[in-house]
Structure 1
Amino acid sequence: METIIFLATGILQVYEIDILCKGFFKEQRTNRLQSYVAYFITYCLISFPYLLFNIPVLNTVCSFLGIIVTAITYKGTVKKQIASVFLFMATMSLSEGIVSVGVGVFTPELFQQNEYYSLTGTVCLPIVQLVVVLLLRNFSNIRDGEHISAVYWIISIFLPISSIVMFYLFCRNITHNDVAIITCVIILIVINVFVFYLYDEVAKNYKLESKSRELELQTKYQEQQLKTMNDSVEKIRALKHEFKKHFSMLETLSESKNYEELNKYLQEINAGFNQANKYIESGNIVIDSILNYKLQEMYEKDIKVDTEIVLLEKLDISFYDFNIILGNLLDNSIEAAEQTEEKYIKIYITYRKHKLNIEIHNTTNNKVDMNNVKTTKKDTVNHGYGIKNIKEILNKYESVYDAEQDGNMFKTKMCIFM
Structure 2
Amino acid sequence: MQPTVYLVSNAVHMYAVYILFTAVLGKSKLHQFAEILTYIVYYLINCGVYLFMDNIMLNLISNILPMFVIMLQYKKPIQTYIFLTIGVCAVGMILDWMMFCIFPESMLLKSNTPQSIAFLGFVFLFRHYFNRKEKIIVTSNYVMLLVIISIGTIIIAELSGPESNAKCFVISVILLIINFLNFYLYDKYIENMQMKIMFNAVESSNQAYKNQIQLMNESQKKIRLLKHDMKNHLLKLKYDLENGNYTKADEYINNMTNNLITEKEFVNTGNIDFDCLLNYKLSIANEMNVVFSCHIVLPEELQVNSFDLTVILGNLLDNALNALKEAKVKQLNIDINYSIGMIVIKIENTFANISSKYDDPEKHGYGLISVRTSLEKYNGKLQNNIVDDKYVVKAVLYNVVKKS
Q: Work out the CA distance in 2 between the residues paired with 1:281 and 1:171.
A: 70
For residues 354 and 229 of structure 2, what CA distance do their matches in structure 1 show?
A: 47
CA pair 265-298 structure 1, distance change in 2 beyond 3 A:
farther
Aligned twin of 1:144:
135
The residue type paired with residue 11 of structure 2 is: I
Structure-2 residue corresponding to 1:158:
148
Is the CA contact (8 Å cut-off) linking 2:71 and 2:81 kept in structure 1? yes
Give yes or no for contact 1:401–1:414 (8 Å, CA) kept in 2. Answer: yes
Counterpart of 1:4 in structure 2: which amino acid? T
2:36 matched to 1:44? no
Looking at structure 2, the residues matched to 408 and 102 of structure 1 have their Cα atoms a distance apart, in angstroms, of: 67
Residue of structure 1 in register with 2:157 after alignment: 167
Quick one: distance in 2 between partners of 1:57 and 1:221? Answer: 58
1:115-171 deviations in whole A, cap 9, x for unaligned? xx6467533221111111111212124963533752x32321011111112111111
Question: What residue in structure 1 maps to residue 372 of structure 2?
Answer: 395
Mapped to 1, the partners of 2:388 and 2:250 lie a distance apart of 36
Residue identity in the other structure for 1:131 = G
> Normalization by structure 2: what TM-score?
0.80
5 Å-filtered alignment, 1:10-409, equals 10-104=10-104, 118=108, 121-138=111-128, 139-141=130-132, 144-147=135-138, 149-150=140-141, 152-171=142-161, 175=163, 177-275=164-262, 278=265, 285-297=272-284, 301=289, 303=292, 305-312=294-301, 314-316=303-305, 318=308, 320-328=310-318, 331=321, 339=329, 345=333, 347-350=335-338, 352-353=340-341, 355-360=342-347, 375-376=351-352, 380-382=356-358, 392-396=369-373, 397=376, 398-401=379-382
Task: Tell me how far apart the structure 2 counterparts of residues 405 and 157 of structure 1 sit (CA, whole Å).
Answer: 35
Greater shift after overlay, 317-326 or 129-138?
317-326
User: What CA distance in whole angstroms lies between the structure 2 residues aligned with 1:154 and 1:7?
Assistant: 34
CA distance in 2, matches of 1:405, 1:239: 48
Q: Secondary structure at the match of 1:348?
A: strand
Give yes or no for contact 1:167–1:185 (8 Å, CA) kept in 2: yes
Q: Percent identity?
A: 19
Letter in 2 for 1:211: M
Residue of structure 2 in register with 1:416 after alignment: 397
1:395-417: CA deviation from partner (whole Å, max 9, x where unpaired): 32122345689999997543113
Identify if the C-alpha distance between structure 1 residues 277 and 98 changes in structure 2 by more than 3 Å, giving closer, same or farther: closer
Match of 1:114 in 2: none
Q: 5+ residue gaps in structure 2?
A: 400-404
Give the match's secondary structure for 1:357.
Answer: strand
Aligned partners of 1:70, 1:46: CA distance in 2, in Å? 13
* Paired letter, 1:272: N
CA drift at 1:24: 0.6
CA distance in 2, matches of 1:411, 1:213: 23
Q: Which has the higher contact order (CA 8 A, sep 6+)?
A: 2
> TM-score by structure 1 length?
0.78
Q: In 2 relative to 1, CA 402–166 (structure 1 residues): closer, same or farther, beyond 3 Å?
A: closer
User: CA 1:278 to 1:206, structure 2 compared with 1: closer, same or farther past 3 Å?
Assistant: closer
Please give the secondary structure, in 2, of the residue aligned with 1:350.
Answer: strand
How far does residue 45 in structure 1 lie from its aligned partner after superposition? 3.9
C-alpha distance 166-344 of structure 1, shift in aligned 2 (>3 A): closer
Instruction: Spell out structure 1 runs of 4+ moving beyond 6 A.
Output: 332-338, 383-390, 403-411
Give 1:184's aligned amino acid. I
Judge conservation of contact 2:79–2:144 (CA < 8 Å) in 1.
no
CA RMSD, 1 decimal? 3.8
**8 Å contact kept, 1:95–1:125:** yes
Q: Which whole-Å CA distance do the structure 2 matches of 1:148 and 1:403 have between them? A: 18
Q: Structure 2: how far apart are the matches of 1:7 and 1:313?
A: 50
- Asked if 2 retains the 8 angstrom alpha-carbon contact of 1:311 and 1:350, the reply is no
- Distance change (3 Å), C-alpha of 1:395 and 1:213: closer
Which whole-Å CA distance do the structure 2 matches of 1:100 and 1:330 have between them? 58
